[in-house]
Chains A and B, each alone.
Chain A
C-alpha cells in the first residue's frame, strides 16, 4: 500500500516533465481494496483490472521497474511501451493487460473463470471494476452468466461514487450492488467503512466462498479517489465534489491508520526502503531504452 501511494505521488511530481506522455489514472486514496483482495488471493489465481490499474498491478506484486519503464514508454516496460499506464499487465502475475474501456474486462473475466472451471484448476478470477462499470450492460450480462454457470469469479466493485464527474445519483435509481448481484444468484457483501481490516476479512470470506465452488461473489468496497479522474492534480475547483466531502476519507486513510499501528522506527525504515526502490525504478526508467521504431510492426498477429 505504501509502495503504491509513494509511486503514484512520484508520478504526480514528475508528470509535468512530460516523461510519461500519456494519461495516468491515479489510485491515490483507493489503494486499499486492491491490497486487501490481493493479500487473500493465491499465486495461481487470475486478476482482471482497469485503466486505473497501478494499485492492482503493484498489489499483485508486479515488477515495479517494469511498471515505471512502461509509463516512460521504454522497452523494459511490461508492454514494451505499447501499453502505457492504462494497459498494465503481466502474464507472470496472472494479470492480462487492462482495458481503458469501462467494464470491458468483466466479460473476459468470466471467460477466464470459465477456463479455470473447465480445466478443474483450483483457482479463481478476481475482477476489479468501478461503480461506473456497473452502469454498463456487460456487467449485468456477465453476472448473469457467472451465476448461471456458478463460475469461480470474485467481482470487486471499487465504489468511489463517481464516474469521472458524474455521481451515482445521476446514474442509478437504486444503487445497491449486492442486491443486483443477488438477482443473478451472485452472492455479495459490502465494506463501507474504509477499514483495511474489514476489507481483509471480508475479502478472505468472499474468496473462500468462491474457491469452495459455491459460485460467484460480488464484493463492494467503498473508497475514494483523491486526485482528478485523469492526471496528477486535485480537482476540488471543479465543484462536482468538495474537500469537505473528502475529509472523512482523508481522516480514515487506510494507509495512514495502518502506518500508525507500526512502531515509528520500523515505519521509517520501511518508508526509506520503499523510497529507495522507487528512486531506483524511476532512475532505471529514465535510463532505459526506447523500443526500436521497427518494433511497431511486432505482435500484430500471434
Chain B
C-alpha cells in the first residue's frame, strides 16, 4: 500500500472520531471546550456543527460528575467520549472511573457494560509544570476493568481510537501534546488497531528499547545516536499499557538479550517496572541485561533548566543503553545531541 496520505496525530484522532460518529449515532463527544473554536487541537473542531449540540457539547467544570454522566449514558448503550485537556484533571475523576466505570460489568456478572472512552492529554511542553504535565498511566493500568492505551504514531492514533470507541469497556486513551503535530501515514478508510499489541517500529539486534508515548520519539532518536557507535537498537512502541503485549517484547529480548524500558512517566510502581517483571516471568532462568528509565522522582519543575533535567532525552537514553551493553567504557561517551523539534517548536500560552 502506498504510504502517501499524511495526517498529523491530531488530524488522525479527528478523522477517527468523525468516521465513528457518522457510523454510529450513539457516539457523542463532550468535555470542557470541545465545541470551542480551537476544538482541542482541532480534534473535535466542528462536531457540534456537523452533529448538533446533543452529540458534541461543552460541560460545567465538574470532572467527576461529568465522568459519571458518561458512565450512565454508557449503561444505556451509548458510546461517550469524554475529552480532558490535561491528564492531571483525571485525578478529579478517579471515583467514577475506578469505583463505578471499572466495576459495573464485574459486579453485575456481565449484565451491564460501560463502553466509554476517556481522552487524556499529557501536557508536557513550554513550562506546564507540576499540575499540567503529569503522566499518570500506571495508576489506571493498575485497575482491572479499565483498558489503557497510549499510541504514538498517527496511524496507531486513528486505529486505536476507533478500537477504543468500539470496545465495550472503559478505555483511557492517552495522548501527548507534543505528538499532535507529528505527521505520518494514515489510510483514509476506517480501520482498527487491536489492543494488547506492541509495535516494533525499528528492528535491531543489539538491544530492545521499549518506550511509551512521547518517549518513543526520544527512543527513535537515541537509536540514531547509538548507530554511530555501532549499536543496533530494536525500538518497540508499547502502544497498549493495559493489557501489555509481553510476547512481542519477550520475543525481541530473546534475540537481543538486553532490555531498556523508557516510560513517559515515573519509575516507581510504573509501566517500566511492569514490562520488566512480565518479561522476567516469561524468562525466569535466562534473564537479559536490563535497565529502566522514566521521569526523575520529583515533582515536575516549571523552569526550563530544571525541566530539562526531569525528562529522559535521546542522549540520556543512548548513554544508558551504551552503559548497559559496554559496562567498562559506557560512561565516557557523549553523543552529538539530536534536534528535538517538537519540543523546541512548541510555544504557549495554552
Q: Taking beta carbons and an 8 Å cutoff, which residues of A are in contact with B?
A: 46, 78-80, 82-83, 87, 89-91, 96-97, 99, 101, 104, 106-116, 118-119, 137-138, 141-142, 144-145, 148, 298-302
With both chains docked as a complex, state the minimum distance between the C-beta of B228 and any C-beta of chain A, in angstroms.
45
Pick the residue among B54, B69, B145 that contacts A300 (CB under 8 A).
B145
From B105-113, B248-256, B309-317, the one touching the partner chain is: B105-113
- 4 smallest CB-CB distances across A and B, nearest first, come from A111-B72, A107-B68, A115-B76, A141-B65
* Nearest-neighbor residue (CB-CB) of A113 within chain B: B72
* Nearest-neighbor residue (CB-CB) of A301 within chain B: B169
Contact B76 A101 (CB under 8 A): no
- Residues of chain B within 8 A of A141, CB atoms compared: 60, 62, 64-66
- Residues of chain A within 8 A of B145, CB atoms compared: 300-301
Contact B68 A114 (CB under 8 A): no
Contact A99 B69 (CB under 8 A): no
Question: What are 10 A-to-B residue pairs whose CB atoms are below 8 Å?
Answer: A83-B109, A97-B112, A106-B68, A107-B67, A108-B71, A110-B69, A141-B64, A142-B65, A301-B105, A302-B110
Contact B106 A300 (CB under 8 A): yes
Asked if B324 is at the interface of the complex by the 8 Å CB criterion, the answer is: no
One digit per residue, 1 when the CB lies within 8 angstroms of any chain A CB and 0 when it does not, for chain B 233-258 equals 00000000000000000000000000
With both chains docked as a complex, state the minimum distance between the C-beta of A149 and any C-beta of chain B, in angstroms.
9
Instruction: Give the docked Cα–Cα distance between A2 and B70 (Å).
Output: 37
One digit per residue, 1 when the CB lies within 8 angstroms of any chain A CB and 0 when it does not, for chain B 40-76 equals 0000000000000010000110101111111111111
With both chains docked as a complex, state the minimum distance between the C-beta of A113 and any C-beta of chain B, in angstroms.
8
Instruction: Give the docked Cα–Cα distance between A72 and B109 (Å).
Output: 16
Instruction: Give the docked Cα–Cα distance between A87 and B104 (Å).
Output: 10
Interface centre among A104, A114, A301 (most CB of B within 10 A): A301
Instruction: Give the docked Cα–Cα distance between A197 and B300 (Å).
Output: 61
With both chains docked as a complex, state the minimum distance between the C-beta of A261 and any C-beta of chain B, in angstroms.
38
Contact B111 A90 (CB under 8 A): yes
Pick the residue among A97, A114, A118, A302 that contacts B107 (CB under 8 A).
A97
Asked if B10 is at the interface of the complex by the 8 Å CB criterion, the answer is: no
Asked if B225 is at the interface of the complex by the 8 Å CB criterion, the answer is: no
* Nearest-neighbor residue (CB-CB) of B64 within chain A: A138
Asked if B100 is at the interface of the complex by the 8 Å CB criterion, the answer is: yes
Contact A96 B112 (CB under 8 A): yes
Asked if B326 is at the interface of the complex by the 8 Å CB criterion, the answer is: no
Apart from A101-B95, A145-B65, A302-B114, 13 more pairs, CB < 8 Å: A78-B108, A97-B108, A97-B111, A107-B96, A108-B71, A108-B100, A111-B69, A112-B76, A118-B78, A138-B64, A141-B64, A144-B60, A299-B108
Contacts A90-B111, A111-B75: A99 and B99 contacting too (C-beta < 8 A)? yes
Contact B144 A111 (CB under 8 A): no
Instruction: Give the docked Cα–Cα distance between A112 and B80 (Å).
Output: 12
Asked if B115 is at the interface of the complex by the 8 Å CB criterion, the answer is: yes
Instruction: Give the docked Cα–Cα distance between A137 and B59 (Å).
Output: 16
- Residues of chain B within 8 A of A46, CB atoms compared: 76
Contact A111 B107 (CB under 8 A): no
- Residues of chain A within 8 A of B99, CB atoms compared: 99, 101, 104
Contact A107 B109 (CB under 8 A): no
With both chains docked as a complex, state the minimum distance between the C-beta of A13 and any C-beta of chain B, in angstroms.
27
Contact A110 B60 (CB under 8 A): no
Instruction: Give the docked Cα–Cα distance between A106 and B168 (Å).
Output: 22
Asked if B147 is at the interface of the complex by the 8 Å CB criterion, the answer is: yes
Contacts A141-B62, A148-B60: A111 and B111 contacting too (C-beta < 8 A)? no
* Nearest-neighbor residue (CB-CB) of A77 within chain B: B109
- Residues of chain B within 8 A of A108, CB atoms compared: 68-69, 71-72, 75, 100
* Nearest-neighbor residue (CB-CB) of A89 within chain B: B108
Pick the residue among A101, A112, A115, A300 that contacts B144 (CB under 8 A).
A300
Contact B76 A116 (CB under 8 A): yes
Contact A111 B112 (CB under 8 A): no
Contact B109 A96 (CB under 8 A): no
- Residues of chain A within 8 A of B68, CB atoms compared: 104, 106-108, 110-111, 138, 142
Instruction: Give the docked Cα–Cα distance between A144 and B28 (Å).
Output: 20
Pick the residue among B64, B76, B106, B168 that contacts A107 (CB under 8 A).
B64
* Nearest-neighbor residue (CB-CB) of B92 within chain A: A137
- Residues of chain A within 8 A of B110, CB atoms compared: 298-299, 302
Contact A114 B111 (CB under 8 A): no
* Nearest-neighbor residue (CB-CB) of B146 within chain A: A301
- Residues of chain B within 8 A of A82, CB atoms compared: 106-109
With both chains docked as a complex, state the minimum distance between the C-beta of A104 and any C-beta of chain B, in angstroms.
6
Contact B106 A96 (CB under 8 A): no
- Residues of chain B within 8 A of A80, CB atoms compared: 109
Contact B72 A87 (CB under 8 A): no
Instruction: Give the docked Cα–Cα distance between A137 and B65 (Å).
Output: 9
Instruction: Give the docked Cα–Cα distance between A116 and B72 (Å).
Output: 10
Contact A112 B111 (CB under 8 A): no
Contact B71 A114 (CB under 8 A): no
- Residues of chain A within 8 A of B70, CB atoms compared: 111
- Residues of chain A within 8 A of B76, CB atoms compared: 46, 111-112, 115-116, 119
